[in-house]
């Protein structure tokens, strides 16, 4: 037996198997639960797929064999694997094969010799003469123009013919072929007899009755036309990107995306550019949402390293603001304030993390305030060095000015760094929440989120983390599954330095969220995405602005409700425990404790009197 003579076939070298039976044996071992047996990857594309072809003594996947065998079609010039050859031995692609005179048949509708679109009892019909009638679609139930499905014998409309669904029978994502709109079925669940269906002429794996290539093969060819060279070959660094596009769960979405003019232009530019694909190369392209999504796909697939795009955009914006100042002295002051004060502090605070939307907005507001104040001084024929306190108070009295607090910070910084003299701009110390503290509403919202099954699970979990544990939306959006520890009986989550055991209703929702979480990105989403709340771009979390919008939609007011939660928890917990459990800064915890007038003289004695049964969290919002 091959695996006895060569045991390494079981640990990844199966592509060298002498017979297909060895590969089937490896698959059966893996499906039976063997943990040390490894399915072999294709030696060319390195994808773990069915290795159905033999090339140069190695078994490769069907797609790589097609790429190896691709030659220019004699008729249309497309670089494809030949579907057949004409009488002179010249290669023809699948599209040209069905248009060869020998494959044309006389249409019973128009009498012309055409490619066959439908075969009906009265004879073959071309695409223009295929029968269409106004009838009730057998899948969606709409009354519209329909054709007769050869698979079911029932009418079905154009929309249902191209609809991709999750099959109600086997759970795979495929084109709907029967069933209903709510419970669609794929081809294999419509008729499990493999002899009933034809196969895609290119990949020979997709079950279909059409002689045309399947959508996944069409997608593969379109991507190669955009990214590849004249022979369709791709540069090695683009192989992961190509794999991400062509292996999209729904190829129709990928086809629609690359059909957009902006996406197509970007892909063609990347394909023509002989330089390695880097962030700097992409920065030379016109910015926009399409480029941002394309970059996120390249990062998620490993074609590009991760980069803090928000911080890069902020640095570029600051450079433009500073360079726009014509006065060199003002440019030097603004550069010192924006770069050496704000950006330096932000980088030090971030470490290995990425900037949040609020951190980015905070820096932009302060830099804008400084730039506006310098512009006002220029209009008044003043500088920071010549500006006196009456001039500053005259600016403060102007009702049209904006960013007053941020401007005050710039003035104090200017005095500290001796760019200005004799100026004072007071600041108000925070003394507590300005909004109403409504504890009853907090508990009403918590009960609704815990028990209302009509609300989406991600919104319920995000809302409960905010209401019960006073977490900022920016913190919630950055949570990963590594922050959640799941045991047989308990679920704990870590916000600060110590994990918090979640109460039973919320623990069940977190378990459900981890098991069902899915981002909206249809292309390039990695299978091992770490985010608890995946976002709309592959490999990225849901933005805090988007979470805020979704919470507002279900009646949660993040800023006010978090203040209520912090105020309530500060009356129940000492500042040190509040900071350790919730991840807030100790100074912030002390300020909230002072604002809530919490008294902790008897806290240690109260903890010592608790029994073991009282210490676990046994109700929503309770904290040890």
| pLDDT(75) > 80 | no
Backbone φ and ψ of 314, nearest 5°: -65, -45
Comparing CA positions, the residue from 145, 172, 152, 176 lying closest to residue 163 is 176
Residues in a beta bridge with 90 = none
Find which of 62-71, 249-258, 290-299, 371-380 is predicted with most confidence, using mean pLDDT.
371-380
What is the rounded CA–CA span in Å between residue 564 and residue 561? 5
List, for residues 541-551, the tens digit of each pLDDT value.
888 888 889 99
Cβ burial, residue 610 (10 Å; 0-12/13-18/19+):
exposed
- How many residues can be counted in the chain? 624
Task: Please provide the average confidence, as pLDDT, over all residues in the chain.
Answer: 83
pLDDT band at 429 (very low <50, low <70, confident <90, very high): low
**DSSP characters over 354-412:** PPPHHHHHHHHHHHHHHHHHHHHHHHTT--TTT--HHHHHHHHT-TT---HHHHHHHHH
Nearest 5°: the CA angle 60, 93, 199 is: 60
Determine the pLDDT at residue 529: 76
Determine the pLDDT at residue 362: 92
- First-to-final CA distance of the chain: 61
Comparing CA positions, the residue from 143, 149, 133 lying closest to residue 184 is 149
Question: Out of 18-27, 125-134, 249-258, 614-623, which region has the weakest mean confidence (pLDDT)?
Answer: 614-623
What is the rounded CA–CA span in Å between residue 386 and residue 394? 14
List, for residues 325-357, the tens digit of each pLDDT value.
999 999 999 999 999 999 999 999 888 888 888
More confident residue, 267 or 592: 267
pLDDT band at 618 (very low <50, low <70, confident <90, very high): very low
What is the rounded CA–CA span in Å between residue 275 and residue 296? 19
Backbone φ and ψ of 276, nearest 5°: -60, 145
Asked whether the beta carbons of 351 and 478 are under 8 A apart, the reply is no
What is the rounded CA–CA span in Å between residue 185 and residue 470? 45
Determine the pLDDT at residue 330: 92
Q: How far is CA 222 from CA 56, 264, 278, 466, 623, in A?
A: 28, 10, 23, 46, 56
Tell me the percentage of the chain whose pLDDT exceeds 70. Answer: 91
List, for residues 602-613, the tens digit of each pLDDT value.
445 555 555 544
β-strand pairing of 484-486 with 491-493: antiparallel
What is the rounded CA–CA span in Å between residue 256 and residue 463? 35
547 half-sphere exposure, CB direction, 13 A CA radius: 31
- 553-556 long-range Cβ contacts below 8 angstroms, 24+ apart: 554/455, 554/459, 554/463, 555/445, 555/448, 556/445, 556/463, 556/466, 556/467
Determine the pLDDT at residue 69: 82
* Secondary structure class of 269 (helix, strand, coil): helix
- Identify how many contiguous H helices and E strands the chain contains and give both numbers: 27, 22
What is the rounded average pLDDT of the residues 409-416?
A: 92
pLDDT band at 583 (very low <50, low <70, confident <90, very high): confident
Asked whether the beta carbons of 53 and 39 are under 8 A apart, the reply is no
pLDDT band at 615 (very low <50, low <70, confident <90, very high): very low
Residue appearing with tokens 């899948």: 139
Q: Residue 22 is encoded by which pair of tokens?
A: 């060895």
Residue 133 host element (H or E): strand 133-136
What's the CA dihedral at 29, 31, 37, 41 to 10 degrees?
120
Determine the pLDDT at residue 601: 47
More confident residue, 53 or 597: 53
456 half-sphere exposure, CB direction, 13 A CA radius: 12
Determine the pLDDT at residue 436: 62
Residues in a beta bridge with 106 = 113
Total Cβ atoms within 10 A of residue 185: 22
pLDDT band at 316 (very low <50, low <70, confident <90, very high): very high
Q: How far is CA 10 from CA 51, 421, 426, 439, 570, in A?
A: 15, 77, 73, 62, 59
Backbone φ and ψ of 18, nearest 5°: -75, -25
What is the rounded CA–CA span in Å between residue 446 and residue 522? 33
Determine the pLDDT at residue 202: 80
List, for residues 451-461, the tens digit of each pLDDT value.
888 898 999 99
Determine the pLDDT at residue 361: 92
More confident residue, 506 or 536: 506
Tell me the percentage of the chain whose pLDDT exceeds 90. Answer: 17
What is the rounded CA–CA span in Å between residue 594 and residue 588? 10
What is the rounded CA–CA span in Å between residue 290 and residue 264? 10
| pLDDT(426) > 80 | no
List, for residues 157-183, the tens digit of each pLDDT value.
988 988 888 899 998 888 899 999 999
């Amino acid at each position: 037996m091959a695996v006895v003579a060569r045991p390494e076939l079981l640990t990844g070298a199966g592509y060298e198997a002498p017979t297909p039976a060895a590969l089937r044996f490896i698959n059966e071992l893996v499906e039976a639960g063997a943990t040390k047996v490894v399915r072999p990857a294709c030696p060319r594309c390195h994808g773990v797929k069915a290795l159905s072809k033999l090339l140069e003594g190695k078994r490769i996947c069907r797609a790589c064999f097609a790429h190896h065998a691709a030659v220019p079609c004699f008729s249309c010039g497309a670089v494809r694997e030949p579907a057949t050859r004409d009488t002179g031995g010249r290669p023809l692609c699948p599209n040209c094969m069905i248009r060869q005179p020998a494959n044309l048949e006389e249409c019973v509708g128009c009498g012309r010799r055409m490619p066959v679109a439908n075969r009906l009892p009265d004879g073959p019909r071309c695409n223009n003469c295929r029968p269409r009638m106004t009838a009730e679609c057998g899948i969606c139930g709409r009354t519209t123009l329909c054709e007769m499905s050869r698979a079911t014998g029932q009418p079905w409309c154009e929309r249902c013919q191209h609809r991709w669904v999750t099959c109600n029978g086997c759970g795979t994502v495929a084109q709907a072929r029967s069933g209903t709109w709510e419970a669609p079925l794929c081809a294999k669940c419509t008729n499990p007899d493999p002899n009933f269906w034809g196969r895609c002429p290119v990949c020979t794996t997709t079950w279909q009755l059409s002689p045309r290539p399947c959508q996944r093969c069409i997608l593969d060819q379109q991507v190669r036309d955009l990214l590849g060279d004249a022979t369709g070959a791709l540069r090695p660094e683009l192989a992961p990107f190509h794999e991400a596009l062509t292996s999209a769960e729904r190829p129709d979405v990928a086809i629609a995306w690359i059909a957009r003019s902006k996406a197509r232009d970007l892909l063609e530019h990347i394909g023509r550019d002989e330089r390695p694909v880097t962030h700097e190369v992409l920065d030379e392209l016109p910015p926009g949402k399409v480029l941002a999504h394309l970059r996120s796909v390249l990062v998620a697939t490993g074609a590009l390293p991760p980069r803090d795009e928000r911080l890069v955009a902020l640095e570029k914006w600051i450079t433009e603001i500073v360079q726009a100042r014509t006065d060199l002295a003002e440019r030097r002051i603004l550069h010192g304030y924006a770069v050496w004060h704000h950006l330096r502090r932000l980088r030090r605070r971030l470490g290995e993390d990425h900037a949040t939307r609020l951190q980015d907005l905070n820096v932009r507001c302060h830099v804008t305030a400084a730039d506006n104040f310098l512009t006002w001084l220029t209009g008044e024929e003043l500088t920071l060095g010549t500006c006196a306190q009456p001039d500053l108070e005259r600016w403060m009295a102007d009702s049209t000015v904006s960013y007053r607090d941020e401007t005050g910070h710039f003035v104090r910084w200017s005095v500290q760094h001796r760019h200005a003299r004799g100026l004072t701009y007071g600041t108000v110390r925070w003394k507590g929440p300005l909004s109403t503290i409504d504890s009853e509403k907090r508990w009403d919202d918590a009960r609704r989120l815990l028990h209302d099954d009509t609300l989406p699970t991600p919104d319920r979990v995000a809302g409960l983390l905010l209401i019960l544990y006073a977490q900022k939306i920016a913190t919630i959006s950055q949570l990963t599954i590594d922050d959640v520890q799941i045991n047989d009986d308990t679920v704990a989550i870590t916000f600060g330095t110590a994990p918090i055991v979640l109460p039973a209703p919320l623990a069940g929702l977190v378990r459900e969220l981890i098991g069902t979480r899915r981002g909206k990105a249809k292309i390039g989403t990695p299978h091992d995405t770490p985010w608890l709340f995946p976002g709309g771009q592959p490999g990225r979390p849901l933005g805090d602005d988007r979470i805020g919008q979704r919470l507002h939609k279900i009646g949660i007011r993040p800023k006010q409700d978090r203040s209520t939660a912090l105020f309530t928890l500060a009356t129940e917990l000492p500042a040190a425990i509040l900071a350790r459990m919730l991840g807030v800064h100790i100074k912030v915890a002390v300020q909230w404790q002072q604002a809530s007038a919490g008294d902790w003289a008897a806290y240690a004695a109260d903890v010592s009197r608790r029994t073991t049964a009282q210490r676990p969290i046994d109700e929503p919002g309770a904290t040890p």
